[in-house]
Each structure stands twice: as C-alpha cells, then as structure tokens.
Amino acid sequence: MTTRATHSELPPFESLVQRHGHGLLRFCLARLGADRGEDAFQETLLAALRAYPDLRDPAAAGGWLFAIADRKVIDAARESAKVGPATDGDAIEDAAWHDSAADGTLWAAVAVLPRKQRAAVALRYVADLSHGEIATAMGTSEAAARRNVHEGLKQLRGSVER
Amino acid sequence: MNSRSNDLTIAEAALRQIAPGSDAALAAAIERFTARAASDGAVDVVYEDHDSPFGKLRLAATPAGILRIGLPNEDPESLLDQIAHKLSPRVLRAPGGYPSLAKARRELDQYFAGKRRHFDLPLDWSMARAFRLEVLHVTALIPYGETVSYADLARAAGRPKAVRAAGTAMATNPLPIVVPCHRVLRSGGQLGNYGGGVEMKAELLRLEGSRPG
C-alpha cells in the first residue's frame, strides 16, 4: 500500500475513470476497432492506476492518461503487425491509426492528416479533452494544441460532405 | 466565411459521432477493468454503496478488511477524498471487489432487521491512529443493547481525564454501526451527537431495545 504524504493532493482514481472513461473507450475503439480497442482501454487504465500515486500534478491527470493510452494503442498495433523491433517507428505509429474497417469513413480521413493534427483532432473530439489537456498529452503548448485542432478540422471539411 | 465556419461545426459534430461507445459498453468495460484491478492488487481501496433503512451507506474496503463506513448524511465524495489523502489515491468503485464487502452487506442487513447482535467482519483500522484508535478498540467491546458514557469510555481506554478526546474519537469513527459509537451517551443519559444525525442514533438504540419508544 502506498501512503506517501506527497500524494495527498490526488483525488481518488475513480474520479478519473468517471471523467475520462467514456472518452478513453471511444479513443481506443476508434483507433483499434472493437476487440483490440477494449483491450487497450483495460491496459491503459491498469497502467495508469499502478503509476497514479507518482503523478505530480493532479491538474495534468487527463493529458497524462491519454499519453499512456497513445502508447498502449501503439503497442497493440505493433503486436498485431507482428513486426520486429527494427521496424520504422513512424510506420508503426501510422499503423496505429489505420483501421481497414474504417475505410471510406470520416475516421479514415482523420488517419491521413498530418501526425500532430490527427492526434489533436482525436484528443479533442473523440477523447473529449480540453486544449490544455491536449497540450499535456502531446507535450506541446496550449496554443499549439489549439492550432493543431483547428488546422486538422479545416482539412476534414471536405470529407464530411461526401 | 459564414458557410465556412458552418462547415467546421458540421465536421465537429460528425467527429463526435465516431466510435460512440454506448453506456452499456462503457459499463461492461469498466467492470472488467475493476475486477482485474482488484484481483491483481493494482487497486488499494474499493468501495460500493449499500441501501439501508436509513439511506445509502458507503462501504470502503482494503484487502485487509472493511476500512470505512459512510453514513447516509455524510458527503460520499469527501469520504473518498479523505481516503485518497490519508491512505492511497488508488481508489475504485468496484461492487463485490473484495469478499469482505459482500459479507458486510449481509451482516448489516441482518443487524437492521434485528437478526444480528454483533458483527463478525475483518476490519482495517488504518483510518484511525493513537489514542483515538485505542478508544475505538474499547468501543468495539460495548455489547449490543447496552450504553456507556463518554467518561466511561475515556476511563476504559486508560485516560480517565480525556473525556473530550474520547468524544472526538467517536465523532471521527471511521466504522460507525460496526464499531458502535451510537452506544456512547452523555453522562446524564442525553443522546449526545452522532455522525448520522441524532435521529439515527435514537433509532439504532431503539432497534437494540436499549431505549424506550
């Protein structure tokens, strides 16, 4: 049991599940499909729960959770691609966005956006994060997060009307 | 410009429809997660709510036993904050997360139905310390249907002059009902205070037959 005084500011983990559970499930399902998506949801929450007492800033919890989720999604994509460690990291990251079941959908259009834009768009509209939380998740400034969301959204206009 | 910003709004709305994740799917996924967290020890404290004749009781437990019982008029959220700050922030709602929770529900139901006179539950005393903990240990020994005064309690805990501290120990009892602070009255026989409200205290004493009416 962890009982260090430095953790005294953290709210119960349950509040994180209540606030972000739905967005986290959508984020994982969109990126990996139903089965692998739910696995990634489980793996993310378990990893976050284990590491939670070491989180320094309670206000950063949302962004922190989705940074973990992104790693778990990429892990899952790497596993199902059955690729060796030598495989190009960018190729694996791209594979973590392309779900053949989503071909022809709006999600397929999100997947081909520039990397920062697709991540920002997914965190804003699928994960339901604020711009500040997106900045934490992506390690950027809040202004950059806002810009990435907006630029990505502009690119998607055409795809929606089809 | 107007139709362009309208396009953006349409795109936003469409993005919010991606992978909707129904309430049922979310509930099932969370249930699987909490079961795993409880069985592999990633969680430190689990809790659930239990309906009683007085309203909702919040029951929290660790693997060692029942940690905290929240009475109906306590703020259930601040109860969780208290646990997160004092013990561990690894707190999850997980109905049936530990066997002790199911046992506590059963015994509480029997007690409220007048069919149980003492509790046989594993208890985790981590939420109390020092003299307050001593006082709680003594309180746990007060038999069903009997009452003692705060002064009696201080004496029994080995510090006869610490009547006020004994009162504080009752006011901060993490395990009410099971550790029967409702059996502790003022010296004149007046009810004194109760975390669940004086009405509940009187009702519990009537249930135990130690108070007329």
Confidence at residue A78, expressed as pLDDT on a 0 to 100 scale: 86
Comparing A68 with B3, which gets the higher pLDDT?
A68
Burial A65-103 (b: 16+ CB within 10 A, else e): bbbbbbebbbebbbeeeeeeeeeeeeeebebbbebeebe
Of all residues in chain B, the one with the smallest CA distance to A105 is: B18
- Residue numbers of B between 83 and 112 with CB closer than 8 Å to A: 83-93
Q: What share of chain A is helix, strand, coil (3-state, %, to 5)?
A: 75, 0, 25
Widest CA span in chain A: 56
Angle at A35 between CA A30 and CA A39, to 5 degrees: 90
- Most A-contacting residue of B30, B39, B75, B78 (CB-CB within 10 A), to test interface: B30
Cβ pair B88, B61 in contact under 8 A: no
Tell me if residue B181 is catalytic.
Answer: yes
Q: What is the mean pLDDT of residues B38-66?
A: 96
Question: Complex ipTM, two decimals?
Answer: 0.91
Best probe of the A interface among B31, B75, B85, B90, by most A CBs < 10 A, is B90
What pLDDT does A158 receive? Answer: 78
Q: How confident is the model at residue B213 (pLDDT cuts 50, 70, 90)?
A: very low
Q: B184-185 and B45-52 as β-strands: parallel, antiparallel, unpaired? A: unpaired
Average pLDDT of the segment spanning B124-142? 95
B30: pLDDT strictly greater than 70: yes
A35 and chain B in contact, CB less than 8 A = no
Tokens of A156: 């998607």
Instruction: Let me know if domain B130-207 sits in CATH 1.10.10.10.
Output: yes
Label residue A162 exposed, middle or buried (CB < 10 Å: 0-12, 13-18, 19+): exposed
Name the more confident of A80 and B127.
Answer: B127
pLDDT of A15: 96
Which three-class secondary structure string do you get for A22-87? HHHHHHHHHHHCHHHHHHHHHHHHHHHHHHHHHCCCHHHHHHHHHHHHHHHHHHHHHHHHCCCCCC
**Residue-range domains of chain A with CATH:** 12-161 (1.20.140)
Domain ranges of chain B: 24-112, 130-207
Q: Please judge whether A160 and B32 are an interchain contact, meaning their C-beta atoms are less than 8 angstroms apart.
A: no
The DSSP annotation for B145-189 comes to: T--EEHHHHHHHTT-TT-HHHHHHHHHT-SSTTTS-GGGEE-TTS
Residues of chain A contacting B16 with CB distance shorter than 8 Å = 125-126
Look up residue A45 and give its amino acid.
L
- Going by the DSSP 8-state scheme, the letter that residue B76 receives in this structure is H
* Residue where the block lists tokens 């009410």: B176
Local mean pLDDT, 10-residue blocks, chain A (162 residues) = 56 97 97 92 98 94 97 90 67 81 86 95 97 96 97 89 54
Classify domain B24-112 by CATH architecture.
2-Layer Sandwich (3.30)
**A contacts of B47 (beta carbons < 8 Å):** 14
Q: Name the token pair of B75.
A: 């703020």
Task: Give per-residue pLDDT as tens, B55-94.
Answer: 999 999 999 999 999 999 999 999 999 999 999 999 999 9
pLDDT (0 to 100) of residue B95? 85
Share of chain B above pLDDT 90, in %: 85
Predicted confidence at residue A85, as pLDDT, reads 61
The rounded distance, in Å, linking the Cα atoms of A134 and A136 is 5
Note the pLDDT of residue A7.
46
A62 touches chain B (CB under 8 A): no
CA B45 to chain centre: 12
For residue A86, the number of C-alpha atoms closer than 13 Å in the C-beta half-sphere is 0
